[in-house]
Amino acid sequence: MVLPPDATLADVGEFGLIAALVEQFGTDDQVLVGPGDDAAVLRIRHGHVVVSTDLMVEGRHFRRDWASAEDVGHRAAAQNLSDINAMGGRGTHLTIGLAAPADLPAAWALDFARGFSQECAEVGATVVGGDLTRADQVVISVTVLGRCTQAPVLRSGAQPGDVLALAGRQGWAAGGLAVLGRGFRSPRVLVEAYRRPRPPYAQGQAAAEAGATALIDVSDGLLAEAGHVAVASGVAIDVRRDAFEVPEPLHAVGAALGADPMEFILAGGDDHALLATFPGTGSVPEGWQVIGAVAEGEGVTVDGASYDGSTGWTHF
């Protein structure tokens, strides 16, 4: 379905837009009923079904002058697929709820769908339905279903004596957000990291197969997520600064903004790296870096001492 390039959502209408959006998404042999009915119907095979939901609100989670519609689509899909990754599984099917102003260009919605679909293709996931309504600002709600071939890895399994390890980039998106917040667009590599995260999709299942005792994705901040693991597991976690090599772009942004670049790493989110604990008697899988340790006690420390800086994003 071809829409006029200047058409708005009001021009196209709800069902016209839905028809155009559906064309952006594929299907797979597990989908018995896809978009177009009251609900999707899936054929579930062996393993555990895992489900997660996330919201993105314009002005709070993204700005249209900071990121293209395709970028927002990539980010919306990535943050949901990462939640399944953080259980040791892989996302398979998603639904999208989109609320938007009537004067939003229809092309924006189609570009969003294109970016969303491209990100889903990274793991072979399929969009199977959703909903569309009018609102004063763009609000995106995504639900993802996935599958774990083994028992899901929870936040609550860390044990004293475990090591803490990280997979994926960390602090890059936070550096990009800081740059955009000051009205700049460089270093471009950090801005692009914020616009389109690169979750380590292969590492969730790899961690589970290697015997990870706890697993979480870094969406709100490394220290904040480590705190969630510490509370859920009833342990203490210490993070070592010297485990990190601060990349040059973060050094550059820190110098330009008068900030410690380690703060981007310790408190940054939106890269959707994975944080895991592994038994200290073994080795961590390839692609993982040991950044700390688990002990008896409670709370999170940095280099053995309490940390008085920001630990991550808070919503309220």
Please indicate if the annotation marks 130 as binding a ligand: yes
Strand intervals (E) in the chain: 31-33, 41-42, 48-57, 90-100, 126-134, 139-148, 163-167, 214-218, 236-239, 273-278, 289-295, 299-302
61 is in an annotated binding site: yes
State the alpha helices, DSSP H only, in 129-272: 172-181, 188-195, 203-209, 222-233, 248-257, 261-267
Does residue 271 have a known ligand-binding role? no
220 is in an annotated binding site: yes
Write b or e for each residue in 123-141: b if 16 or more Cβ atoms lie within 10 A of its Cβ, otherwise e. Answer: bebbbbbbebeeeeebbbb
131 labeled binding residue = yes
Q: Is 147 annotated as a binding residue?
A: no
What is the strand order of the sheet 163-167 is part of? 214-218, 273-278, 163-167, 289-295, 236-239, 299-302
* Helix (H), strand (E) at residue 153: none
| Residue 313 annotated as part of some ligand binding site | yes
Contact assessment for residue 126 and residue 92, using Cβ atoms and an 8 Å cutoff: yes
* 219 in a known ligand binding site: yes
46 known member of a binding site: no
Annotated binding-site residue? 54: yes
Q: Which residues make up each annotated binding site for substrate?
A: 61, 270, 313
Q: Which residues make up each annotated binding site?
A: 38, 52-54, 61, 83, 130-131, 155, 217, 219-220, 270, 313
Q: Which residues make up each annotated binding site for Mg(2+)?
A: 38, 52-54, 83, 131, 217, 220
Q: Which residues make up each annotated binding site for ATP?
A: 130-131, 155, 219
